[in-house]
Amino acid sequence: MINAFHILFCRCLAVIFLCMLASCAAPPPTTMAPRPVVTPWTTVDVFYGTNRKATGEVGPNHVFGTQLGDLRYGVCQVTIPATHAPGEIERPEWYKFEFSEDPVKHVTIRTLRHLSRDEFAAVFSVARQEMNTEDILIFIHGFSNTFDESVRRTGQLCYDLGFPGIAMTYSWPSQGAFSVANYYRDEDYVRQSIPYLKQFLLDVVRNADGARINIIAHSMGNRLMTRTIAEIEKEAPQAVFNQIILAAPDVDAKVFKEDIFPRMAGKARHFTLYASSEDKALMASRVLHDQSRLGESGEFLTIVPGLDTIDSTGVDPSTLGHSYYSSTRTLLNDIHDLVIESVPPEKRYLRHVPGRPAAYWQMVFDSDE
């Protein structure tokens, strides 16, 4: 009797113990919530237009070369690492024993997709709807830039600005390497690229349907941009851009003032020029052409009615002092206020300078407060 009761008691304890174990077990895999995928980088889609000739290579860093080609369209996905510093384009460095790209550490082009002209319009339209945006920013690079450098710079610039709209770049066939011979070759290709950029901009205007189209051109890219905008005035008088920014423009100042800008006036709601007296690249260009450059300040500062001239001297500590528009917090902040917030110069962190014979603006630094 006692043994039978003991056996029954032990069996009951065993059943209770097994039930307790079952209650502690993990639920079946089918009921587990999937873990969110967290990547240590952010992506920026960059639409592109280019009249570079395709190389036939596959990797996104070498798809387009340095020769003149037909107008091509597409979209890239640029990655920005979580450790990104504003103004920087982090790339592999040999002294860090980095010999390949890593999106965790570097700004990279993750994907590149070629599009026909019609596909470009369709994908662009979908992107606008998905982002619910009316804002577009087009970046046009300068001398000694490759296609992939232009795409990465556009991604970095839009990310650092906090730009809420569609990012685009136009890449003309710069040789991508510094030399006097390449400089003259780039000048020639700029002239030949005008009809291609004009077609690209007109396509964007038609597809944008009243969106706010902003353009930032750097260095020699301003020769291409300004002459193209001047020509668009003849063919599409209804095309009006939002903000047009001329950053360190390597453009003949006299020709711009007397011939080009009068034909550009009215093609944008606002024009802004960033210039510097410490830009050594433009000093060299002045010597080479025996004519002051539009991006120089000091005694060469250009002031034109309808153009906000901003003297950015002192903002760029780099050796050449030529890329301050995208590599310094001071300029990035000012461009953010201008493009995204539409803040006029008198309400930005700028000092009004009367005279010369007209007024202009100077960047204000913390030490000037």
Backbone Cα Rg of the chain: 28
| DSSP annotation of 300 | G
- pLDDT score recorded for residue 21: 36
- The C-alpha atoms of residue 34 and residue 238 are separated, in whole angstroms, by 51
- pLDDT score recorded for residue 368: 41
- The C-alpha atoms of residue 344 and residue 338 are separated, in whole angstroms, by 7
Q: At what angle do helices 180-208 and 221-235 cross, to 10 degrees?
A: 40
Q: What are phi and psi of 53, to 5 degrees?
A: -80, 135
- The C-alpha atoms of residue 183 and residue 77 are separated, in whole angstroms, by 30
| DSSP annotation of 276 | B
- The C-alpha atoms of residue 48 and residue 91 are separated, in whole angstroms, by 21
What's the CA angle centered on 130, arms 128 and 136, to 5 degrees? 25
- pLDDT score recorded for residue 1: 46
> 258, 303 in Cβ contact below 8 A?
no
Tens of pLDDT along the chain (369 residues) come to 445 545 544 454 444 443 443 444 444 444 444 545 567 999 999 999 999 999 999 888 999 999 999 999 999 999 999 999 999 999 888 888 888 889 999 999 999 999 999 999 999 999 999 999 999 999 999 999 999 999 999 999 999 999 999 999 999 999 998 899 999 999 999 999 999 999 999 999 999 988 999 999 999 999 999 999 999 877 777 778 999 999 999 999 999 999 999 999 889 999 999 999 999 999 999 999 999 999 999 999 999 999 999 999 988 877 677 888 888 899 999 999 999 999 999 999 999 998 766 789 999 875 443
Residues 6 or more apart whose CB falls under 8 angstroms from that of 357 comprise 303
> 67, 192 in Cβ contact below 8 A?
no
